[in-house]
Amino acid sequence: MTPQRAIIVGASHAGAQLVASLRQEGWTGQIVLVGEESALPYQRPPLSKAYLTGRCAVDELPIRSADFYAKQEIRILDATVQAIDRTAKHVALNTGETLRYDKLALCTGARPRRLCIPGAELAGVHYLRTAADVERIHEATSRSRRAVIVGGGYIGLETASSLRALGLEVTVLEATERVLERVTAPEVSEFFDRIHREEGVNIRNGALVAAVSGDSKVRDVILANGESIPADFVIVGIGVQPNTELAAAAGLTVDNGVVIDDQTRTSDHDIVAAGDCASHDMARYGRRIRLESVPSAAEQAKVAAATICGKPKQIAALPWFWSDQYDLKLQIAGLNTGYDEVVLSGDPTKDRDFTCFYLRGGELIAADCVNRPRDFMFSKRAITQQTPVDRAELTLAGVASGSTS
């Protein structure tokens, strides 16, 4: 009898967690993990931080060792899946090999959104998503003085922090009126704007990039108002887009990600999806959401493994995120979508630690906690349990923190 085979497409955080969880859930069949990079699945968050600054070596990045995959009898292929045949239940690889599957998991992640302006293809314009990307950026830092970052989101600000640690002159160009505008309250944006300026970063809000100029290599970034900003190299951090082309070509439902239910099943119940490529309805927020978060990718992968093994399990954990910049650790509990009030604990205009609580209709729905780990734990629990909160108590520094002790 031919053993069952589960194929996981994408050696991402979700893919790495899924293969491990499959064995934990009791899958005794074959497991094949197909990834486009020759390296073992590795940690992505350190790339813009410890790895870029040289505080972390490449051999410290793998999520699990080669021995783990060998002992768990997990086959890892350095290949690209080019097509899925759902009728025949096989995938076609760029190597010419065709693999049969009984269960298929899509953990294809996301890719950086590209700059679509004149000069964007010049040498010296970089994106930051893979270890190879960071190696190219690190090489550029060794012979450069001036870096320009396009995009004032988390990846842009984390990279700015790392480049300042390496001694470079850094300019951040943000198209909107404030950094982190899409994801935080004005008070939080103003805090990070202040911190980066104090650390020597030149932040330009409302800066629309029109072109990149240079001969064979980038020399300047040209703004829409005609201003020219000198640059030895450029890093683009303007968001990501999910890798859904494979799923769409196979006829799976796609809507800002591969659509999954609360058990991670796609529109084909022999195919699951997890991680940055997947979107699902979250009852807590009343809408379809695609999360770009390592913790969410890991949780979805665990649910996907249980689903493949025929065990009922649902995506339920509260979304959470983090960002490291300088000596600051920002921890985010929940999603602040639709907030109508913010309550501050601490003074973001002066301090280097504070919490911004987001409320909707008087209920705590999210919190941005800077160097306030206990506020973060309090918020995660209070949001999950829908615990009533007292605004006056939240404003007192340490009261929310102390309530977890």
* Superfamily of domain covering 5-111+241-308: FAD/NAD(P)-binding domain (3.50.50.60)
Count of positions (residues) in the chain = 405
**Per-position DSSP letters for 240-270, written without gaps between them:** EEE--HHHHHTT--BSSSEEE-TT-B-SSTT
Distance CA(51)–CA(305), nearest Å, equals: 30
**Cα–chain-centroid distance for residue 365?**
21
Question: Where in 187-295 does DSSP place strands (E)?
Answer: 202-205, 209-214, 218-223, 228-230, 233-236, 240-242, 258-260, 271-273, 278-282, 287-289
249 phi, psi to nearest 5 deg? -65, -25
Quick count: other Cβ atoms within 10 Å of Cβ 46?
Answer: 18
Report pTM. 0.94
pLDDT tens column, 225-284: 999 999 999 999 999 999 999 999 999 999 999 999 999 999 999 999 999 999 999 888
| Extents of the domains making up the chain | 5-111+241-308, 114-238, 327-402
Q: Which residues of the chain have pLDDT under 70?
A: 397-405
pLDDT tens column, 350-401: 999 999 999 999 999 999 999 999 999 999 999 999 999 988 888 875 554 4
State which amino acid sits at residue 197.
Answer: R
Distance CA(66)–CA(69), nearest Å, equals: 5
Contact by Cβ (8 Å): 174, 150:
no
Parallel, antiparallel or unpaired: strands 81-85 and 90-93: antiparallel
CATH of 114-238, one of 2.60.120.10, 3.50.50.60, 1.20.140.10, 3.40.50.720: 3.50.50.60
Residue 398 has what pLDDT?
56
* Superfamily of domain covering 327-402: FAD/NAD-linked reductase, C-terminal dimerisation domain (3.30.390.30)
Residue 392 has what pLDDT?
85
